[in-house]
Chains A and B, each alone.
Chain A
Amino acid sequence: MKNIQGLGLGLRREFLREVHSDGFLPDWWEIAPENWMDMPFHYREKFEEILSLRPVVAHGLSLSIGSLEPVDRAFLKKMKRFLDGYGIENYSDHLSFTALNGSQSYELLPLSMTKKMVLHVSDKIKEVRDFMQRDLILEIATYYYVPMADMREVDFINEVMHQSGAKLLLDVNNIYVNSKNHDFSPHKFLQELDLTYAAYIHVAGHYEDKELGLIIDSHGTSVRDEVWSLLGDSLRKIDVPVMIERDNYVPDYEAMHQEYLVMQKVVRDARV
């Protein structure tokens, strides 16, 4: 990724008052652009000050690259204006869909893992990349069921990356969650995944929904030991930036700093 190295954190509005140039700062920030593009003026000054301190990756939520309909050009235009305005070169979103026929779900929904879907998604990725004039990085998403498949998940992801030229956002929490929900080895999955496309790594928290009998990718708890372990495994294969993603039940900035220190140790130990 351009200008991004080391370890990152997701920038939340809750942190704005707590981030200072002489205090703890991650090596880089990740922001959800949809949460900042209509920024109230009373946040803007601090946001811009924080952006001036460290490089930024924009991690979108609403691209809906997998929905079987054309790319939303109006949305892309707005996104490009925001990214260009702040000089943000790195743009990621999810290998999933969130909307169809103009109706939003605001949830990352699963894609059919088929050859037709590979073609469709790859075409859209190329269109997005051309329009945005930057690489598109796509996150391996969680899925709680597979709508339809004529290939394995790992082959589906490899094929999309290969055909589209997109970069990969390796979310090791999602790989862990998927492996538990769909009963496969996350280590074997990592072995088979083409990591030459990897741009950066996410770690996040999850919880077990006993009623549903599923592990849910909540981004609402601390990172679990099993995910740290899988991160270590990943880093022995590739050397890319890593970050903690936290979207729900966001603790204070100091608590995130403490978790950042854990990540630092895991990364250091893995790279020895």
Chain B
Amino acid sequence: MQEYRLQKKLLSMAFDSEKVAKSKGKKAYKFLVYYRFFEVLSNAYPIFFTLVNRARFEKIIYKFMRYGAKSNVMWKVPNEFRKFVKKQKHFREFKFIDDLLWFEWSEVALMMQTKKLQQEGDFSWDHSCVMSSSASIKKLRYRVFDAPHYTQNGEFFLLAYYDRAQSRVFYREISQLLYLFLKILKKRNLMEAVVFMSEQTSEDAVAVKAFFEPTLNELWSIGVLQNLTRSTV
């Protein structure tokens, strides 16, 4: 069908920087489509955008458009782009690129969390405690959260969370122990996490509880932790 071929041709022209738009109308679409991607990606990845020059940024956008953005909603496009860069091994000369894109994307992802938290009371070891969907932890190989030290290599444990009172995402470097504890909490309950940490540290459960309790209290109060039975959509 000719109409189908023409649709395919228009997209192929719009997604390829090498293909010249022959009419002013096609030029307009080439610009408009590119600009949609440019706007959402440069807004989501401001650090990445300043790291690579404009020409390379333009080039990777065209490659990504040809690869294909699938989501019906634009706010998810940066995450598709992040996965594309990782899967297709782009920008490998920036060894910190995957960490950096995760760091920048996490702000959007946490801002867009749809689940509402209804916290009642204080933290208790009796709670069915889980990490809230408004928080995320990540082990990083580069210090991407601390500009301009992106290239500093090491082992960094990061907690990111959406702060309801201040309506913004905060990042905090945490200890490896807390990272491990929160990681376990993603799959197991509080007491199982205590037992696991007890095995890891050769401390008894009472000591593990005493060590983590002040931190867990604070994480509970800022909504990083939530009681599973109290969470609502």
A residues neighboring B (CB under 8 Å) = 34-35, 37-42, 44, 62, 67-68, 72, 75, 78, 97, 100-107, 109-112, 114, 116-117, 120, 143-145, 147-148, 181, 209, 212-214, 216
Stretch among B107-115, B142-150, B152-160 lining the A interface: B107-115
Contacts of A34 in B (CB 8 A): 72-74
Contact status A143-B3, CB under 8 Å: no
Q: Which of B3, B7, B11, B40 has the most CB of A within 10 A?
A: B7
B20 CB to nearest A CB, Å:
14
Q: Once the chains bind, are A144 and B29 in contact (CB under 8 Å)?
A: yes
B side interface size, CB within 8 A: 45
Residues of chain A lying within 8 A (CB to CB) of residue B65: 103, 105
Asked whether B1 is an interface residue with its Cβ less than 8 Å from the other chain, the reply is yes
Mask for B10-25, Cβ within 8 A of A = 1, else 0? Answer: 1100110000000111
Instruction: Determine the chain A residues whose CB is within 8 A of the CB of B24 once the complex forms.
Output: 144-145, 212-214
Picked from B3, B32, B69, B167, the residue with its CB within 8 Å of the CB of A104 is B69
SS class, residues of chain B in contact with chain A: helix
User: Is B11's CB under 8 angstroms from A38's CB?
Assistant: no
- B7 & A216 in contact (Cβ 8 Å cutoff): no
Please pick, from A97, A181, A214, the residue contacting B7 in the complex, using a CB distance under 8 A.
Answer: A97
Interface bits B55-80 vs A (CB < 8 Å: 1, else 0)? 00000000001001111111111000
In B4-52, the 8 Å CB interface with A consists of 4, 6-8, 10-11, 14-15, 23-29, 31-33, 36-37, 40
Q: Which residues of the partner chain A approach B74 to less than 8 Å between Cβ atoms?
A: 34, 106
Report A-chain residues with C-beta under 8 Å of the C-beta of B71: 104
Nearest-CB residue, chain B, relative to A99: B72
Chain B nearest Cβ from A142, distance in angstroms? 10
By the criterion CB–CB under 8 Å, are A105 and B114 in contact?
no
Cα–Cα distance between A175 and B17 once the two chains are bound (Å): 30
Residues in B whose Cβ lies below 8 Å from that of A109: 7, 10-11, 29
